[in-house]
Structure 1
Amino acid sequence: MYQLYYYPLNASMAPHFVLEELGVDFELLLVDRKSNAQKSADYMALNPTGRIPTLVDGDLILFESPAICIYLAEKHPESHLIPKQGSAERALFFQWMMYLTNTLQAELMLYFYPQRHTNAENTATQIAEAQEQRITEIFALLDSELKNRDYLVGDNLTVCDHFLMMLAVWADEIKKPPLQFENLSRYLKKLSRRKAIKHVCEKENLSLAEYA
């Protein structure tokens, strides 16, 4: 049985979505960020980065949220959560997965933690403001890509969609959140009606009322 070390609304949310979508047996193990448990010796022995999430599958211990999502999708090919090898859609899948993780997630982290990126006094606010504009531009691009489409890659749900749902949840308090974009809003509201998404949000205490 899979074990997912998680914290609500953290980067573990996307793997949590995927596990629920697959309908497999798994155990959720809370890593309490409030007490800095991700830096404890026991957890660091599993994940030396001291970050969340971590997936345990038998002898395999895997960290980094996108890597976990891709691993789960490839281990369960019957789910079609990753396109077939050699297909054009698989190439596009990796394009968007890299964009979501290396661009959108990275920009969001800089927005949330600007103080980590400057030694100058009174500059964190300016960094966050600049990041907010950059993030808005990224969501505008994604909104354009989703015009007349239900999923980010091809005609089927993939883990890219789970990952984007997580990042959209993170960004719900910026000045122009994802739900204020026409195509993104339609897309996210449809995703929010999936049983797996609902179940995870119930477990992680996230209301989906604004997605109704």
Structure 2
Amino acid sequence: MYKLYYYPLNASMAPHFILEELQTDFELILVDRKTDAHKAADYLALNPAGRIPTLVDGQQVIFESAAICIHLAETHPARMLIPQIGDHNRATCLQWIMYLTNTVQAELMLYFYPQRHSIDSSHASVMVAAQEIRLTDMFALLDAQLETQKFLAGEQLSICDFYLFMLAIWADELKQPPLSFEYLGKYLRRLAKRESIINVCKKENLSLFDYQ
């Protein structure tokens, strides 16, 4: 049985979506960020980066949310959440999962935690304003990608879609949130009807009212 070390609405949410979508057995183990449990010795023994999430799959321990999503999808190929080697859509899927984690997620972290990226706290408001513009441009790019196709990597649901849904939840406080974009908004509302997403949001205490 898989063990997912998680905290509600954190980067563990995407792997949580994937586990629910796979309909496989897994155990959720809360890592309480409020008490810095992710910096405790027992957790650091699993994940020396001291970040959430961590997945335990038998004797294998994996951290980094996108890596966990890829591992889960490749371990369950019949569910087709990542195109197989040789499929021309595989490179597209990998492109978007890397864009989401390396670019959009990274920019969101700077938006939420500007003080971590400067030794002068007076810069924070300017950094947040700049990030707002950058993130809006990124969601506009994703909106354009979804204008002519059902899912982010084509016509087949993939790990990219669950990862984007997580990031869209985080970005809902932007002046132009993801739901406000025409095609991206329709796509997110459609995903919000999936049983896997509904189940995770119930467990992580997130209302999907705005997605109805």
Taking structure 2 as the reference length, the TM-score comes to: 0.99
Give the aligned residue type for 1:162.
F
Q: Distance in 1 between matches of 2:111 and 2:87?
A: 35
Residue 28 of structure 1 is matched in structure 2 by 28
SS for the counterpart of 2:122 is: coil
Q: CA deviation at 1:119?
A: 1.0
Match of 1:101 in 2: 101
Q: In structure 2, what is the equivalent of residue 79 of structure 1?
A: 79
Q: Secondary structure at the match of 2:4?
A: strand
Determine the C-alpha separation between the residues in 1 that align with 2:98 and 2:121. Answer: 33
2:15 aligns to what?
A: 15
Q: Deviations over 1:58-80 (max 9, x none)?
A: 10000000000000000000000
What does the per-residue CA deviation read over 1:5-52, in whole Å, with 9 as the maximum and x for residues that have no partner?
000000000000000000000000000001110000110010000000
- 1:116/1:79 CA distance change after superposition, 3 Å: same
Identity %, equivalent residues: 62
Instruction: Supply the AA of the counterpart residue of 1:24.
Output: T
Instruction: State the match for 1:147 in structure 2.
Output: 147
Matches within 5 A, 1:1-212: 1-212=1-212
Runs of 4+ displaced beyond 6 Å: none
* 8 Å contact kept, 2:179–2:188: yes
Residue-by-residue CA offset, 1:82-119 (whole Å, 9 max, x unaligned): 01211210010111111111110010001010001111
Q: CA RMSD in A?
A: 0.6
Moved more, 64-73 or 87-96: 87-96
Give the residue type in structure 2 aligned to 1:179. Answer: L
Q: Write the deviation string for residues 118-147 of structure 1: whole angstroms up to 9, x where unpaired.
A: 112411111011001000000000000000
Counterparts of 2:149 and 2:196, CA distance in 1: 20
Whole-Å separation in 1 of the counterparts to 2:168 and 2:118: 26
**1:173: Cα distance to partner?**
0.5
The 3-state SS of whatever aligns with 1:45 is helix
Q: Distance in 2 between matches of 1:79 and 1:197?
A: 16
The answer (yes or no) to whether the contact 2:97–2:160 under 8 Å persists in 1 is yes
Instruction: For structure 1, list consecutive stretches of 5 or more residues without a partner in the other structure.
Output: none
What SS does structure 1 have at the residue aligned with 2:29?
A: strand
C-alpha separation between the residues in 1 aligned to 2:199 and 2:114? 32
Q: Which amino acid aligns with 1:41?
A: A
Cα drift, residue 148 of structure 1: 3.0
CA distance in 2 between counterparts of 1:87 and 1:111 reads 36
Q: Which runs of 5+ in 2 are unaligned?
A: none
Q: Evaluate the alpha carbon distance shift between residue 28 and residue 121 of structure 1 in structure 2; reply closer, same or farther with a 3 A threshold.
A: closer
Structure 2 counterpart of 1:77, one-letter code? P
Contact 2:115 2:121 survives alignment (8 Å): no
The letter for the 1-side match of 2:143 is D
